[in-house]
Structure formats: C-alpha cells, structure tokens
Amino acid sequence: MKLIQDRLRIAQSGQKSYVANRHRQLEFQRGEFVFLRVSPAKGVIRFRKKGKLSPRYIRPFEILKRIGVVAYRITLPPEISSVHNVFHVLMMKKYVPDPTHIFSHEPLQVREDLTYIEHPVEILDHKDQILRTKVIPLVKLLWHNHSVKKQHGCGKMK
C-alpha cells in the first residue's frame, strides 16, 4: 500500500507541475474588446476536417462586466439579442486593437445556438480523380463567408 501511495503522489505532483507551468489565466477588464467563438453548422456539403475543427470567431464585442470568476457579460448586436449575453472566458479571445486593422465583413447570420450555415457561392475549379475502377469528380468551391485565399484543394462532389 505504501508503494502505491508513493507512486500516486509522484504522478499527481508531476501532473500538477505540468498544469501550473502551462496554464494561463485569462482575465479581461471592463471596456476591453473580445472576439466571440461560434461553431459552424453543416451546410449543404460537409466541411473538410481541417475547416470543421478550426475555431471561428466573430467580430469584437465590448465587455460590460465580470460575473464570477470565469464569466463575462458582453454587448450583443440586435441580430443576436435573443442569445444570453453572459459567456465563459474560454468562448472569448482577446482583441488587440491595431490602427491599420480595417473591418470589412458582411453581416453573419448567427443562430441562437451561436452556429451559422455555410453556403457554396461559386465553383472555382474542378477535376476528375481517376482510380483503378472509377472516376471521382472533385470540385473546389468558394464558400459564402470565406475568401478565395482560404480555399485548400478540391473536395468530393456528391
């Protein structure tokens, strides 16, 4: 029993030091601006794995006040006023103001559960992937909320 307890204590202290060294405390002050994380919903065509797993943030919102240790109340525009305006600190990313930063965005239609639907706008490229016994048509699409630069490769056409 003593040997087991010693090994457990060693493992726990190692985990504790790992977390203490790498954990960063996120805190925001009243009046600061933060980006809010939203999750993309599946649209007509499925996302590639890379696009689906990458976090997405929407425009900067001002922090009104801190509620508790990890919650903040932020200002929300009228389009998403039906969403509760208190968010966990992990749903936010600090906005660092840059005088040369110019916002050029189209309004994003965000649902109440903070998701949005992707719509394909135009076909940018297409090719046929030839396998031994079949041919797979591949299509590169331009999505509604993305620029041409962000598009990677061709995806499977359904």
Report the pLDDT averaged over residues 24-42: 78
pLDDT at 46 over 50: no
Residue environment code for 36-62, b if the CB has 16+ CB neighbours within 10 A, otherwise e:
bbbebeeeebebeeebeeeeeebebbe
- Residue 57 pLDDT more than 60? yes
Domain regions of the chain by residue span: 26-117, 119-158
Q: Which comes out higher in pLDDT, residue 141 or 145?
A: 141
* Cα–Cα distance list, 104 to 4, 13, 53, 113, 147 (Å): 60, 49, 24, 24, 12
- Residue 48 — very low, low, confident or very high, per pLDDT cuts 50/70/90? very low
For residue 70 the two structure tokens come to 């990890």
Nearest to 27 by CA among 97, 96, 92: 92
pTM of this prediction? Answer: 0.46
| pLDDT, tens digit (0-9, with 9 covering 90-100), for 79-112 | 777 788 898 888 888 888 777 766 565 666 777 7
